[in-house]
Structure 1
Amino acid sequence: MTAQTRILELRAELDQHNYRYYVLDEPSVPDAEYDRLFRELQALEAEHPELVTPDSPTQRVGGAALSAFTQVRHEVPMLSLGNAFEENDLREFDRRVVEGLDLPTGDLFGAGVAVDYSCEPKLDGLAVSLLYRDGLLVQGATRGDGTTGEDISVNVRTIRNVPLKLQGKGWPAVLEVRGEVFMSKEGFERLNAAQAEIGGKTFANPRNAAAGSLRQLDSKITASRPLEFCCYGVGQVSEAIADTHIGTLEKLKGWGMPISRELRHAAGIKECLDYYRDIGERRNALPYEIDGVVFKVNSLASQRELGFRAREPRWAIAHKFPAMEELTEVLDVEFQVGRTGAVTPVARLKPVKVAGVTVANATLHNMDEVARLGVMIGDTVIIRRAGDVIPQVMQVVTERRPADARAVHIPTQCPVCGSQVERTQLVKRSKGKETVSEGAVYRCVGRLACRAQLKQAIIHYVSRRAMDIEGLGEKSVEQLVDEGLIASPADLYRLKFEDIVDLEGFAEVSSNKLLAAIADSKRPSLARFIYALGIPDVGEETAKVLARSLGSLQRVMVALPQVLTYLPDIGLEVAHEIHNFFEDEHNRSVIAQLLENGLQLQEEGELAAEFAASTTLAGLIAKLDIPSVGPTGAEKLVAKLQSLERIIAADGIDLRQALAAKQADAVREFFLVESNQALARSVEAQLREFGMHWESEKKVAQGLPLAGQTWVLTGSLERMSRDVAKDKLESLGAKVAGSVSAKTHCVVAGPGAGSKLAKATELGLRVLDEDAFVAFLSEQGIAV
């Protein structure tokens, strides 16, 4: 087979894979196979540069930077759309369409004719035009002012789902495709994280990121950005394609053009409104940003009959969602104190309506974020609210800054208790060394003497996912603290009827209910109790790992950081947080009081079988982080000296028989320090005490059916809550994750599933609906 033949085969195969992946959403090969074929094509084209053509899948990497964009005149103007903001606006649009087409309207004797509309989400990106001649992409242009745009041909060629050559056959000789270039939410987050890591510019939202990426003079930058294209129509064509708008898009899809998966047909304005409400409810679950819905008269003949106004078609309208971003003023910046003492800046804003909700406060996260934004009191800012996400300040409009704007300063004393406010220190531990740097968070040092921290700690303790004490909301907790009735979680179990019955919001019935709920909380699972304690960086999953692995509160409380790191997903920093929490005398006192007041922890038992005799001496040596000694060096050391005591006592000669001189010297110097000897001995002693030591008795682990599998829940479930579904999966040994990846074993998708289901489909993962999931649980003997 000649190189030319193989190149043509590879291009055809890669084009087909791109079509199946980006357009049909039915990938036929794993990414690794695609990459292998792509690399083979690259190698062949490098050997035979004379065979490289512009439509090759390899020609998406970008070329030399341009000095400026040239202008492109649109043969058919790219007009904007009229907007509908209220339901009545859309009904008025429909009335104009019906009258413009001279269709019968409804009256007392019957309904009128319902107009057929196409419905598709209005992507929040940048409108572009792609011109194909004889099936080959020859030009890309921005919308510009609708008449003249910028030539971005080199840049659009780098977008992976833009076909350089059309698929199939039957396309017109001249075909101008129009659509939106956008960036998915996930791609936007990846881009901003990468930009922040290198100290580059971060973007306020996906639309800005897409626009900025597409209009780069250096197309190599564009090629590195996660841009996508979605077709929504055509401009100039040399021959008719179909009779309807939806038919046109389906034809384009057959030729390799990605179209919206949410494209729908609606018979009449009522179905349009139903679509608007439905996609509005699913908006936050979609993998991309949308700012409304576009409705178009589906019949192309009717479109021609309706024609255009000066700047917009009469046959299409954009029904916008309430704005997710708005401008407002920063009236002040106040500081809140959280459960762990973190002092957080909060912007007090001139009230403004965002996404249908009046917003008067927005988070500023921390002082590093205040500095990054450059926000000052008095500034005009862009704020954003998406779904249930706390409103946040996205950008400062510096040109509107008033002369009397004031800088934001962190208080030196806690605004609640007056204690000192200190900047946190970040301790990075590696190879026996600790590197200390300043953290982004400031903390009040008052701990539970600070009412704010006390209140937040108790609110966390009683919350649904923790001890689940019904009837103790934030206001009730604040009242109990303010009245001096509780000063720690343990005091909840000392409350009496007469203490609370006369408090505001309480009466005889509610007081008895609260006391009953407190009593009912005395038998928590070990995992719930660990989570309820509010250990820094220990969420529900880590609490479950601690409980399941170590099996008892006593083991968790005394576990050394080096021992904790043997457990799954617990790194050294979190291990130190756990150890330090239980080393604190006040925390140990509160736990003792809780147990004295009748708490009986459930699901305590032995060390998990998989951790019995699971460690090695070489692993222990490696965990001591001796400079220059990694796992391989530790193995060599143990092979020669056999025991920890012999390693500690070994002189340079013994050590150099096992290791290189530099490593041997490092081990000798490490163990000459008595505290290092003590640490190594205490770790070994604890491993023996827990039953994890290599000489301990090995237990047979009873394998759970889903052990080692990762599942994801998405959408709403009707027969059970997602929390219940999660508990059932975890009882079978599965890990329930919050995001979908190639390592996900199965996705359970209920109604309203969005981006996670889309990604699972892209990756070809197993997906169960609720009925199939319930059937699966029944097969495993789990009652629903």
Structure 2
Amino acid sequence: MTDAQTAAERIAELRSEIEHHNYRYYVLDEPNVPDAEYDRLFRELRALEEEHPQLVTPESPTQRVGGEALTVFGTVKHEVPMLSLGNAFEEQDLVDFARRVREGLDLPAGDLFGDGGKVEYSCEPKLDGLAVSLLYENGQLVRGATRGDGTTGEDITANVRTIRNIPLKLHGTGWPPVLEVRGEIFMSKAGFEKLNARQAELGGKTFANPRNAAAGSLRQLDSKITASRPLELCSYGVGRSDGELPKTHYDLLQALKKWGLPISRELKKANDIQACLDYYRDIGARRDELPYEIDGVVFKVNDIGQQRELGFRAREPRWAIAHKFPAREEVTELLDVEFQVGRTGAITPVARLQPVQVAGVTVSNATLHNMDEVARLGVMIGDTVIVRRAGDVIPQILGVIADRRPSDAREVHVPERCPVCGSDVERTQLIKRSKGRETVSEGSIYRCVGRLACQAQLKQAIIHFVSRRAMDIDGLGDKIVEQLVDRELVRSPADLYTLTYEQVFDLEGFADLSTKNLLASIDNSRKPTLARFVYALGIPEVGEETAKLLARSLGNLERISRALPEVLTYLPDVGNEVAYEIHRFFSDEHNQTVIRQLLERGVALQDEGGVHPEYAASTTLAGFLGKLDIPYVAVTGAKNLAERFKSLDALIEADWLDLSAMKGVNERAKRAVREFFEDPDRSAKSRAIEAQLREFGMHWESERKKVEGLPLTGQTWVLTGTLEAMSRDVAKERLEALGAKVAGSVSAKTNCVVAGPGAGSKLAKASELGVKVLDENAFIAALDAMS
């Protein structure tokens, strides 16, 4: 077989596979390989065709764009083809592009005495969405279409009219009588998360990523569905135009913005290719801060006259290129699934992968979350899987390429015994409490029952206990904790406070100074705030913010540890499940022993006090009755019962005549009240909850205390950039102590943004919304003035 024959066969295979992926991507909106895999296939095909030009055919994927339009929509013929862009994957690819541009414009290349002919470029992020064409006639939106195959698209006019940031009529004046705007329909990260949460709640289909969500939402036959989805447009150019337009791409986009069409906030000009590379690096560094997904940067020759001079290749313009970021999704083989044991005993499946480069990092492990996720993905050992890595997020498996499943693929099974300590593994139960009843169902988590007798749980519990936001014991890294546990010097967090010089000095890697430093760090941790201590205990479902809430609201450890679940639910953002987790933790005899030992060994909480005045006499009898979840007793019924009987005791002791004579409560609810309180356990529990509310000063008959407002109560602040005089953690604590909420994103409700060096998109958003901005010096001065 000749080389040409071999090449022809491979070219045929590649064309068939690429067309298959095009169909799934453009027509079905169900891609089953990541972009990086598609790009590899396309580059291989193009390289083979360049080596064997006699094998190039008009129907090759390299000669056209995408796939055919769906027949369920009307078709639209693009008068000016919607072409795709060539790609640059390395810096040299971009340098070569700049060289081709100069050569195409017949500009000097430069030498020792000068830079040659420079070309100005426009720069903007490459959004990961769906390309569309919007046709305006006399300023009115008359048609919307998808790109389709680049020549023929689908008529989606009814759907694009529902997208809120697309103007139905152009603003201002000066627009051409006919103007075809091109842009990307996308979904923000926040919008995508909300959509998936809503879909899951309704039992609907969830989406793998924002691009799929945007494409699926835009191509609905029912435009009401599209209207309910958080879609946005970002304009990036113009196709057909009957009239005069600006002479540069940058000015053209500014004109579109003036006419009411959204453009990228990151749009910039670059005076040479080096400035383009600087822009690429800057956007790459800020990629995870952007509110939308991008997969690269688009560079275009800015001068539209030069664009016309450069012209087009078969499927792409010569004057533009997409500089792609390293792929965040890759294809690799699932070699095995192992199970790790976490701090709370959760048994978590971890995928062991054939090592693969993802986003510039070699990935050999990925999380599978839990067995429900394994079932959802349908993953088996031996499968070819799609793995994704974004920023610092742990790599995860997105899906399986079922077509590549081998015949010897094996199912994933949870171990019956803990892989670390050999204890039994049990599946958790979910208890739903409503209207006085408990419904039990199987949870998605499996747990080792060995608790701190399991070394894995003990190590993770101590690593959490000593972490910076918990007890902040500097010098106790993971490896040192492992040594302490393996040598049985530490069997609980309390044992850290009994370590001797000799025990630490004998550890691997320790000398005299490092031993003294570690012991000093342990000693310095003996005076934590109540919030830090509660967080350090590692209570399931209790993060840093909930720990702060418990400390601020209930005031001391004794009240937190004794609080009944129903009392805890009076605190904001503490629901039933979290309340029961807190109560269960402090009711556990082993946990009680560890806490007692910590206090006996010198841990002294620094800021304990009374119940916060906000919660003094914060309850009502009607609200209390509502929390008891008596069947058929709604808000109005609870209010009427409270007004009639005035106290819990009177209601419990009421006979049927008392109940039947009252108005405002239906007969079914009256019987439910009687049956509820005739149960001695329920009436005793109700009295116990009331007694604790009275003891904590939260009872409706307790003395109401005056709430002294803090200077920043009700305000939302955002920290961005690098703070040099204090850490972000300290700045956050200072703000919270003054009553402020510290958020992670800027919105119209933000009161102030503190911006240090390196502040990026959050500062830009604040400026756009007119939010007050302080630099670090002004921030410190403001803190001092309020303290």
- Common fold, TM-score beyond 0.5? yes
Shift of 1:243: 0.9
Q: Name 1:160's counterpart in structure 2.
A: 164
Partner of 1:582: 586
Name the counterpart of 1:11: none
Runs of 5+ consecutive residues of structure 1 not aligned to the other structure: 1-65
Q: Which residue of 1 aligns with 2:186?
A: 182
Question: What is residue 559 of structure 1 aligned with on the other side?
Answer: 563
CA distance in structure 2 between the aligned counterparts of 1:161 and 1:534, rounded to whole angstroms: 45
Question: Offset of 1:749 from its aligned partner?
Answer: 4.8
What is the alpha-carbon distance in structure 2 between the residues aligned to residue 210 and residue 616 of structure 1?
A: 47
SS in 2 for 1:196: helix
CA distance in 1, matches of 2:113, 2:683: 96
Match of 2:499 among 495, 512, 521: 495
Report the counterpart of residue 383 of structure 1 in structure 2: 387
Distance apart, 1:629 and its partner CA: 2.6
CA shift, 1:504, in A, is 1.8
**Which amino acid letter does the alignment assign opposite residue 533 of structure 1?**
L
Q: How far did 1:753 drift?
A: 5.4
Aligned counterpart, 2:714:
708
Tell which deviates more after alignment, 740-749 or 355-364: 740-749
Q: Aligned partners of 1:560 and 1:618: how far apart in 2? A: 19
Counterparts of 1:404 and 1:755, CA distance in 2: 49
Please state how far the C-alpha of 1:422 moved relative to its aligned partner. 1.2
1:133 & 1:639 partners in 2: Cα distance? 66
What is the Cα deviation at residue 672 of structure 1?
1.5
Q: Hey, what does 1:547 align to over in structure 2?
A: 551
Give the TM-score normalised by the residue count of structure 1: 0.87
Matched with 2:426 is 422
Alignment partner for residue 72 of structure 1, among 63, 70, 76? Answer: 76
Paired residue for 2:521?
517
Q: Cα deviations across residues 679-716 of structure 1 (Å, max 9, x unaligned)?
A: 12222222222222333333333221122333343444
- Please report the RMSD computed on the Cα atoms of aligned residues, expressed in angstroms: 2.2
- The 1-side partners of 2:71 and 2:99 are apart by 50
In the alignment, which residue of structure 2 is the partner of 1:721? Answer: 727
User: Partners of 1:385 and 1:439 in 2: how far apart?
Assistant: 27
| Equivalent residue in structure 2 for 1:683, among 677, 684, 689 | 689
From 228, 232, 235, give the equivalent of 2:236: 232
**1:646 equivalent in structure 2:** 650
Residues 461/204 of structure 1: CA separation in 2 closer, same or farther (3 Å cut) = same
Cα distance change on mapping 1:753 and 1:430 into 2, 3 Å: farther
Equivalent residue number for residue 330 of structure 1: 334
* Structure 1, 552-561 or 111-120: larger mean CA deviation: 111-120
Paired with 2:582 and 2:629, the residues of 1 have a C-alpha distance of: 19
CA deviation map 1:229-248 (0-9, x unaligned) = 11111112223301111111
Secondary structure of the residue aligned to 1:212 is helix
Cα 1:140/1:592, change in 2 over 3 Å? same
How many residues in Structure 1 have an aligned counterpart in Structure 2?
A: 716
Distance 1:762 1:652 in 2: 65
1:538 and 2:504 matched = no
1:344 aligns with 2:351: no
Residue from 679, 682, 693 that aligns with 2:699: 693
Whichever residue aligns with residue 365 of structure 1, its letter is H
How big is each residue's C-alpha offset from its partner over 1:361-384, in whole Å with a ceiling of 9 and x where there is no partner? 111111111111111111111111
CA deviation map 1:180-226 (0-9, x unaligned): 11111112112222222233222211112222222334433333322
Query: Quick one: which of 434, 438, 441 aligns to 2:442?
Result: 438
CA drift of 1:750 comes to: 4.8
Question: Which segment is superposed worse, 77-86 or 331-340?
Answer: 77-86
Equivalent position amino acid for 1:112 in 2? G
1:444-523 aligned at under 5 Å gives the runs: 444-523=448-527
The equivalent residue for 1:288 is 292
How far apart are residue 769 of structure 1 and its match? 5.2
Q: CA deviation at 1:522?
A: 0.5
* Contact 1:286 1:754 (C-alpha < 8 Å) held by counterparts: no
Contact 1:282/1:752 (<8 A) preserved: no
Tell me the residue number matched to 2:91.
87
- What is the deviation of 1:309? 2.5
Task: Specify the SS of the correspondent of 1:79.
Answer: coil
CA distance in 2, matches of 1:754, 1:204: 28
| Higher deviation after alignment, 92-101 or 182-191 | 92-101
Structure 1 pair 192–566 and aligned structure 2 pair: CA distance change class (3 A): closer
SS at match of 2:244: coil
Measure the CA separation in 2 of the matches of 1:658 and 1:527: 47
In the alignment, is residue 245 of structure 1 matched against residue 232 of structure 2?
no
Instruction: Assess if the C-alpha contact under 8 Å between 1:287 and 1:754 holds in 2.
Output: no
Aligned equivalents of 2:197, 2:762: Cα separation in 1: 20
In structure 2, the residue corresponding to 1:149 is in which secondary structure? strand
For the pair 1:363 / 2:367, whether they are aligned, the reply is: yes
The structure 2 residue matched to 1:121, chosen from 119, 125, 131, is 125
Q: CA deviation at 1:304?
A: 1.8
Gaps of 5+ in 2: 1-69
**Cα shift readout 1:406-451 (whole Å, capped 9, x = no counterpart):** 1111111111111111111111111211111111111111111111
Matched residue type, 2:446: Y
- The 1:691/1:213 distance shift into structure 2, 3 A limit, reads closer
C-alpha distance in 2 between matches for 1:328 and 1:109 = 50
Residue pairs, 1:605-620, within 5 angstroms: 605-620=609-624
Give the 3-state SS of the residue equivalent to 2:103 in structure 1.
helix
Distance 2:704 2:215 in 1: 60
User: Residues of 2 paired with 1:191 and 1:753: CA distance?
Assistant: 29
% identical aligned pairs: 73
The residue number in structure 2 matching 1:279 is: 283
What is the one-letter code of the residue matched to 2:174?
G
